Amino acid sequence: MGDGPADAGRQAAGGGPAAGAGTERARLPRLPVRQLAAASVGNAAEWYDWYAYSFLAIYFADRVFPKGAGDSLVPLLSAFAVFAVGFFMRPVGGLLMGAVADRRGRRAALTLTILLMGGGSLLVGVTPTYAASGLLAPVVLVVARLVQGLSVGGEFAASTTFLVESAGERRRGLFSSFQYVSTTVGQLVASGIAALLAGNLTEGQMASWGWRVPFLLGAVIALVGFWIRRGAVETRSAPEPGTPRPGLFEALRRHPRASLLICGITAGGTIAYYTWTTYLPTYATVNAGVGKGTALTAGTISLAFFAVLQPLGGVLSDRVGRKPPLIAFAVGFAVLAVPLLHLLDGGFWSLLLVQCAGMVLLTGYTAVAAAVNAEVFPARVRAAGIGFPYSLTVALFGGTAPYVGTWFADAGHAGWFPWYVAVLCLVSALVYARLPETAHGTLER
């Protein structure tokens, strides 16, 4: 296809990169650990901050948002609505930070995104309460989430491109898997800290000040990630002298089919991902009566299991191709999402079983998503080309998952949410079935 995967096999036009960039790039195969650390540590810090919000929303919602008359779910709905608002900044971040990565280099974009995320986390940590400041409290929280959304949208575009371009031709799937290894480590740390605080503090202490601790810690972690990323080796080849920089909307204008393909690849993956890794503890608490601490503990264990699975899925995709695991994921969720969520009975073991079963299926998408996305676009517009359609799709379906699920429960139709997940996965299954195989081609760098 002229604007998609076939372009990935085309070598860059002209005589090649400038000498300095070529020297740096020649070092890449000998520095895999350094490159993985630069992407992974910063990415983990980014996603730690992002997911701490979701895990702790159930504690701070009442402090930041006023209650509706007779409806205890109003503050939680408001908190998840702000979670979704942050997601709608992600397409902007994917476009702007992707453009920075394509024009100024992957490393420049990665250092900028980590600083934005740290600043947003600090702002959440110092958000005043509604009782103390009135409407200023939700306004501060919204601003913080907008900054974080901008950062996360750019993070995926830049780190995906950086990771896959750092890999050898037969290891792109393996390197790709570290996108979700590091994301899951960030979630795991956020979930673990939340569970530790919930287990050692009273409900009153958690609601009063305990929920702030993870966000303030996140600002410190972001600074560490910034320091590590400054030492990364650039993977973007320097353009020929006189070559015009890519336009902001060049990827969309010149590669519309590839952009739509990214949307189809992502739709089912993002709803399944955010349901199983982020929203499920809250879903189990609201709909199955699972205790808050119990739900966070089960979520932490299942996330550790998920992180271990990712490299295995990446290596498998390097051998058998990207399509088989993608199809297995989508068909599996289309068939099993409803019965799995109906297995929740209020107990710890049922929640853990449902989460781990979903994690196995989900690995078919998460372990290869970064590689598939990077293989769709040519190097010149790869970061921006991935960033905007991916982040837009995540905003529409992933970011709204907690809100939609809570809204269904509030409306008395909690059983509709599993069907919503299944239908979106079925749509992506149809896309995967027609997806060209890109695992064994040469990636333009």
DSSP 248-298: TTHHHHH-HHHHHHHHHHHHHHHHHHHIIIIIHHHHHHHHH---HHHHHHH
| 269 in Cβ contact with 428 (< 8 Å) | yes
User: Tell me: the pLDDT tens digits for 159-205?
Assistant: 888 888 888 778 888 998 998 899 888 878 887 888 788 888 888 88
User: Tell me: the pLDDT tens digits for 361-418?
Assistant: 999 999 999 899 888 888 888 988 898 899 889 888 887 787 788 788 777 877 788 8
| pLDDT average, residue stretch 274-286 | 81
pTM tops 0.75, yes or no:
yes
- pLDDT of residue 31 exceeding 60, the answer is no
pLDDT at residue 22 in the model: 45
The CA distance from 33 to 44, in Å, is 16
User: Tell me: the pLDDT tens digits for 34-73?
Assistant: 788 888 887 788 778 877 887 787 788 777 877 654 455 5
| pLDDT average, residue stretch 121-125 | 91
User: 68 — phi, psi (to 5°)?
Assistant: -80, 160
The CA distance from 47 to 114, in Å, is 10
pLDDT at residue 355 in the model: 92
Domains of the chain with CATH codes: 31-230+254-433 (1.20.1250.20)
DSSP 308-351: HHHHHHHHHHHHH-SHHHHHHHHHHHHHHHHHHHHT--SSHHHH
| 35 in Cβ contact with 232 (< 8 Å) | yes
Tokens 């608002």, residue located:
85
Indicate the angle between helix axes 90-104 and 382-393, nearest 10 degrees.
170
pLDDT at residue 72 in the model: 57
The CA distance from 196 to 274, in Å, is 22
Q: What residue type is 213 in one-letter code?
A: V
